[in-house]
Amino acid sequence: MFVLLFCLPHNHSYNTSHFLLCSELHCITGQTFDKILIANRGEIACRVMKTCHKMGIQTVAVHSDVDASAVHVKMANEAVCVGPAPTSKSYLNMDAIMDAVRATGAQAVHPGYGFLSENKEFAKRLVSITQNRAHAYFHTLYCRYPVMIKASAGGGGKGMRIAWNDEETREGFRFSSQEAASSFGDDRLLIEKFIDNPRHIEIQVLADKHGNALWLNERECSIQRRNQKVVEEAPSTFLDAATRRAMGEQAVQLAKAVQYSSAGTVEFLVDSNKNFYFLEMNTRLQVEHPITECITGLDLVEQMIRVAKGYKLQHKQEDIPINGWAIESRVYAEDPYKSFGLPSIGRLSRYQEPLNLSNVRVDSGIQEGSDISIYYDPMISKLVTYGATRAEALASMEDALDNYVIRGVTHNISLLREIITHPRFISGDISTNFLPEVYPDGFKGHQLEADSRRELLAAAAALHITAQLRSQRVLGDLRVSSSPVECSHWELCVELEEGRHHVDVTKSGKVYTVEMDGVKVEVDGQWNLASPLLPLAINGTHRMLQCLSRDASGKIVLQYLGTSFKVRVLSKLAAQLNSYMPEKVPEDTSSLLRSPMPGAVVTVSVKPGDSVAEGQEICVIEAMKMQNSLTAARQAKVKSVHCKPGETVGEGDLLVELE
């Protein structure tokens, strides 16, 4: 028999469970589950497995065929393939997952978040006793615009659109329902009033089956793009003790009212006057749960397992502390220069987490060599730092981002670093509109000022000379024994963006002195060119740079202050000769519509000969379960169409050509 382990709330629309018991068990004091199946992938699957193994519980992983070598599969005691790469045929395949439960004898299922974690049908299929539970229903709010259109079966920003008029409502329903079906296997939607420019603050709750419930403080989740969280912190800089208590007590009242048992999150929108409005309750583990664990000392997955087995909570409300501060940055395989983050795919050719630093935690489900595909969420990891104060946690996050090595895919570390170092974020002056307000023209990376520009130019010049000197040696000896004494002075030309800078460089020991425009910059460092990290002291200030690439023509790509900069270093003579080289004429792209990201073509709305207006939809591309409408940049006639529905396209592929 299958019975429910985590009781669903009775007579309430939050009819879902985070833990589902898969065989009839008898509660024996001191005994926990022997085997749990984790119906998810990536970092959350790894996260749950770590706690299960700590508790002595065996784990079963499910995976798609392309995830056969994934980290969560390697961590598990057993693994079962549940289908091919598309989520609808694997991680959303209830039949295959139920077969895996039966075949492995798993006693419980942990669905993580996303996929089937909030799917009521999945819960029903795991129980044999028909329960009289209320059907989830959602009332359309007949109110003035704007409204929020949301998927009823999940979160994470998928299946979510803001509509300001009737046309956007129709378009929002179309895209939201399609994304919801693709991501959660359920295309039902709800509509609610949208509150403009609020903070998004949530309360973590924990409840048992004996009527006990706690609130574990708040998480500030206002930094978002496309309604998906990017940076979270706990506690919030905005809440005072009275507001925190009021929100916590109301969250606990809600959990008790629906007889909820497990870890859950009650989300609120908070206005500038600290008025708070109920948004939704997520009856599952949240992506950002680690920051709550950092400031409370509780392992939420362990608490969920204990509650599921029937134990009472071990703590009382007065036992829940706020110890220090914790910040989480969601590291994604995304291009932050495109709409604050369009997906990127590829293989992690080099991957090194900054775990050598203190007060750093990385929850990930990948390793060097892992593939980031179009089929799943592009999250690489959750990077968490903590400290006694917010300033300490922020400083640790800055160092961790600088020391995080990711090669093979485009990532969003540049955006994350700019967010946490921005004066508005540091002061706590944030809202859900932070990104569009701070970057109204889109994210452009770190903007160099005079001092930082000189630092970058000096570092590039010093790196170029270091590489040049190393190429003259074999195993520490000069290649040609008759060579003169090593040079200690160079005249170089360093090109950065549209500027050319003439620099004089001298070397004494490990220290380079770079002079440009009458200003001297000293660069000292551990010049290990085999390492992806370049720890430097520039005029006495510690900087961690990364050399992403360099070639014989003097082109160097450096990651500096989180952003990648293309630099070219030439000798004085080479720079003079290079001025005679013809410049490459850029491609005229005004008539070409190219895919801004890798993905799958969902629809094509035009054919050759059609006339299109500026802003008219031409096609829809889906990547990582998010659908993106591509429109015409100008009024024109369609010359040719190079794609069709169902095809997979790469970033930059030609889709449609206009006359």
> Torsion over CA of 210, 213, 216 and 219, rounded to 10 degrees?
120
Q: What's the token pair of residue 3?
A: 């019975």
Cα 456 to Cα 439: distance, rounded to the nearest angstrom: 23
Please report which helix (H) or strand (E) contains residue 402, including its range: helix 390-403
Under 8 Å between Cβ of 374 and 600: yes
Burial of 498 (0-12, 13-18, 19+ CB in 10 A): exposed
Cα 214 to Cα 248: distance, rounded to the nearest angstrom: 8
- Which of these, 40, 64, 70, lies nearest to 52 by C-alpha position? 40
Cβ neighbours of residue 579 closer than 8 Å, sequence gap 6 or more: none
Q: What is the DSSP letter of 511?
A: E
Torsion 376-404-300-390 (CA) sign = negative
- Which of these, 253, 257, 382, lies nearest to 330 by C-alpha position? 382
Catalytic entry in 78, 168, 171, 280: 280
- Residue 191's DSSP bridge partners are 149
Cβ neighbours of residue 583 closer than 8 Å, sequence gap 6 or more: none
Which residue intervals of 131-233 are DSSP H helices?
166-184
Cα 556 to Cα 550: distance, rounded to the nearest angstrom: 4
Q: For the residues of 166-181, what is the DSSP string, one character each?
A: HHHHHHHHHHHHHHHH
- Amino acid residing at 417: R
Under 8 Å between Cβ of 622 and 170: no
Q: What's the token pair of residue 258?
A: 């629906």
Number of continuous H segments (helices) and E segments (strands) in the chain: 14, 40
- Which of these, 16, 18, 35, 5, lies nearest to 301 by C-alpha position? 18
- Compute CA distances 370 → 342, 348, 384, whole Å: 19, 6, 21
Specify whether 232 is catalytic. no
- Residue 199's DSSP bridge partners are 270
Catalytic residues: 280
